[in-house]
Amino acid sequence: MDGDRMISLTEGGLSRRGALKATATGAALGTTFALSVQPVQAQTMITTPADGLTAGTVKVKTGDGKEMDAYRAMPATGQGFATIVVVQEIFGVHAHIADLCRRFAKVGYYAIAPELYFRQGDPKTLTDVQALLREIVAKVPDEQVMGDIDATVAFAKGEGKADTAKLGITGFCWGGRIVWLYAAHSSALKAGVAWYGRVVGDSTPLTPKHPVDIAKDLKAPVLGLYGGADTGIPNDTVDRMRAALKAGSPAAQKSQIDTYPDTPHAFNADYRPSYRKEQAEDAWKKALAWFKANGV
């Protein structure tokens, strides 16, 4: 439980100052931030040290034979670690997502964050959020994402250190939505934790269904963590998701959504002004307890 409070001057081989100032182009996965979210809030940013861990970038072979970068962290000794797939925000696998992998590793997990936009472009290089959404995020098919996460799990199993029979998934913002979808996709999943992921939306060829549409089909229980003052995810849509879960599969009925009153979107993003320390720390404890209670 101490991983969420550990502050260090090192991060993935870069000093904190280096991580904040590194240019996005050519930077190693998980060592810097997308240009569209800079400047970052250094005074609140948590940096978890990699001592005692094996951490860094790995290459995952996808179902179509391509190579996808992923940031992976696990304890440096031992094996048979329960496995957590960490799904990125819209900004890709940046320093915060890598840090979350290290936080999970500090409490004994094998955590891996695949760069799920790699076919569509590098989100770190775009300076405008709307351009990022339009030029990269909107071009990423849900079916592609599901397959790439499956490939990530297969990679973890193949390394021989992870116990993928104890499989969990967590994701933030864009990744929160993906958690719900993957819980309906994968029969191997034990549990998910979705942080402020959109639950309703328009059906498109690339995003044909949204969490509220597949709630009835969940194969693993999901804990949803949402902000009551999230202007992008209205409370009534979250209530619709709660109702859909109650009418769904046994795993759906076991799922739950916790909403933090007067709390904005991205309240766990400690590098952004939206960060809320008290809520983030409470949600982190709930996430770990949820995984443990559900066999991860």
CA distances (Å), origin 144, targets 24, 148, 164, 236: 25, 6, 21, 29
Q: Quick one: pLDDT at residue 238?
A: 98
Q: Which of 142, 148, 230, 270 is catalytic?
A: 230
Q: Which of 173, 185, 210, 270 is catalytic?
A: 173
Q: Quick one: pLDDT at residue 35?
A: 82
Q: Who has greater pLDDT, 125 or 148?
A: 148
CATH topology of domain 2-293: Rossmann fold (3.40.50)
Band the pLDDT of 4: cuts 50, 70, 90: very low
Mean pLDDT of 5-17: 32
Q: Across the chain, which distance is largest between two alpha carbons, in Å?
A: 50
Cβ(150)–Cβ(186) below 8 Å? yes
Q: What is the pLDDT of residues 173-196, one digit of tens each?
A: 999 999 999 999 999 999 999 999
Band the pLDDT of 34: cuts 50, 70, 90: confident
Catalytic residue flag (residue 185): no
Catalytic residue flag (residue 265): yes
Within the chain, where are the H helices? 16-21, 95-106, 129-135, 142-159, 174-185, 211-214, 235-246, 250-254, 277-293
Q: Quick one: pLDDT at residue 124?
A: 85
Whether 131 has a pLDDT exceeding 80, the answer reads: yes
Question: What CA–CA distance (Å, rounded) separates 146 from 150?
Answer: 6
Mean pLDDT of 223-241: 97
Q: Who has greater pLDDT, 6 or 204?
A: 204
Tokens matching residue 228: 């009551």
Q: Quick one: pLDDT at residue 119?
A: 96
Q: According to the 3-state scheme, what is the secondary structure of 72-114?
A: EEEECCCCCEEEEEEECECCECCHHHHHHHHHHHHCCCEEEEE
Band the pLDDT of 231: cuts 50, 70, 90: very high
Q: Who has greater pLDDT, 257 or 126?
A: 257
- pTM of the entire predicted model: 0.91
**Domain boundaries defined on the chain:** 2-293
Query: Which amino acid type is present at position 18?
Result: G
Whether 31 has a pLDDT exceeding 60, the answer reads: yes
Tokens matching residue 276: 């809320």
Q: CA nearest 220: which of 259, 192, 262, 178?
A: 192
Q: Quick one: pLDDT at residue 24?
A: 46
Question: What CA–CA distance (Å, rounded) separates 19 from 41?
Answer: 12
Catalytic residue flag (residue 173): yes
pLDDT above 70 covers a percentage of the chain that reads 91
Q: Quick one: pLDDT at residue 3?
A: 32
Lowest mean pLDDT among 23-32, 114-123, 187-196: 23-32
Band the pLDDT of 26: cuts 50, 70, 90: low
Lowest mean pLDDT among 123-127, 178-182, 232-236, 263-267: 123-127
- Secondary structure tally for the chain: helices H, strands E: 9, 10
Could you identify the residue written with the tokens 């770990």? Answer: 288
Whether 91 has a pLDDT exceeding 90, the answer reads: yes
Cβ(177)–Cβ(194) below 8 Å? yes
> What's the angle, vertex CA 47, arms to CA 227 and CA 61, rounded to 5?
85
Lowest mean pLDDT among 89-98, 125-134, 187-196, 287-296: 125-134
Q: 247-269 in b/e burial notation, b at 16+ Cβ within 10 A?
A: ebbebbebbebebbeebbbbbbb
Q: 11-47 in b/e burial notation, b at 16+ Cβ within 10 A?
A: bbebebebbbebebeebebbbbbbbbbeebeeeebbb
Q: Quick one: pLDDT at residue 118?
A: 96
